[in-house]
Structure 1
Amino acid sequence: MNMQISNPKTFDARELRDVLGQFATGVTVITTCGDEGQPLGLAVNSFASVSLDPAEILWSIVSSAPSRSAFEGHGAFAVNIMAASAKEQTLRFAQPIENKFEGVDWTPGWCDVPVLSGAIATLECDVKRAIPCGDHHIVVGSVRAIGQSGGAPLVFHKGQFQSLGEPI
């Protein structure tokens, strides 16, 4: 089945961002280690499951991110699915600040990648591949370890952090 668009509409990046913002997502902090073993991390909402067998996930990072080479070069990373109660901690990883881990409680996981205590679930992964796509790289990971503590997730919707409402 071929879908055709009869009257394509032009739009700018802001309009596209607003439309994409209608899709509520969970919030993750993806972590790895830098060249000298220092912990690195960034807030990401472009995360998804790829496969259960084999266990694989994906996330995307802007190609120009200063930490992109570390994520691909270290060979391992952790996906920390953040709790609503960890909003302030998560905000540190969404900003271009020098030491994002200052005051953040974490333990070393698979290949020493930081696993954050503010996460309600974690997936520790090997980098399977990084695929250039537009202005981002899609990182596919093979899941090596998982964990969960439960709790309410942090959600991102319409450009703002939210908490999850009651089931309907």
Structure 2
Amino acid sequence: MPPDMQVLIDDLTGSDVAGLLQTHVDHMASLSPPESTHALDLESLRAPDVTFWAVREGGLLLGCGALKEIDPLHGEIKSMHTAQAARGRGVAKAVVETVLAEALRRSYERLSLETGSLAEFEAARNLYLGFGFEYCPPFADYVEDPYSVFMTLRIG
């Protein structure tokens, strides 16, 4: 992670964060039908079982990600998004490292995620594979969906 890049818990009140999350939701909706779009909106990210991080450099928002608790031993990565201008700079890697560290701190046994199956999501899938995530069946409330792939990592 570049030395000036910071990954900090965010309260979801900034207009830049709202704008980036809207970009994320809009992008997901452009790639998948509504029943296959699982991006959380701003209010859902404010739930008590969700921790949200913003990645900034010199005050500029570069990306974001969240951790949702499924149960006391299982968390889910949500709302991973890197601003277009910041892609290729390690923003997503920094978020995954932060979420993984928090999952370990919470003594989770497993960290899972849902991402897209289309070619547009190949970089995301490769990122998670690089951290040791493996493909798995749907978890929590998810169901099989041709637009989704599910991945999990045993931790702790």
TM-score over 0.5 for the alignment?
no
Q: Higher helix share goes to which structure?
A: 2
Q: TM-score, normalised by structure 2?
A: 0.27
Larger Rg: 1
**Higher relative contact order structure (alpha carbons within 8 Å, sequence separation ≥ 6):** 1
